[in-house]
Structure 1
Amino acid sequence: MAALIYSLCALTSLACSVLLWRAWRGAGHRLLFWSALCFAGLTLNNVLLVLDKVVYPVEVDLLTWRLCAALIAVLMLLFGLVWEDE
């Protein structure tokens, strides 16, 4: 059951990233671009979660990589929010 939920979270964040990317391509707002990059990073985070908990539950510990991906994703959104304010 956990594998299904992790996979659905990854697919949902991928869908959000694609939709935000398409909206940015159409409208050209920079905040949409940074949001799409953030969700792309969160997609990577969720894929690493699936790999860590489902595919390689004992052999490999991907906690550090997952945390780095999430941190970079949130920092990209934060940078976009600060840059848009100017």
Structure 2
Amino acid sequence: MSEQNDIPDYHLDLMGETCPYVAIATLEAMAQLQPGEILEIVTRCSQSINNVPPDAVNHGFQVLEVQQDGPNIRYLIRR
């Protein structure tokens, strides 16, 4: 779960994108972060739930939050 101090350092708006681009763009952005920095990703791609969290964990990143509100999905991932 996300803590109060888990404030994103960067925001990636992928609302108009579909998978697999959402997962690819997320991993590309995560590679640019410094250790400890947090990326917020927002999307409407329902398939991203099956890709983004496992891909992040497999690459050694920490998934802090996955929040779905209707079609909108928000991820917080720490490098």
Q: TM-score, normalised to structure 2's length? A: 0.33
Larger radius of gyration: 1
Higher relative strand content: 2
Q: TM-score, normalised to structure 1's length? A: 0.31
Higher relative helix content: 1
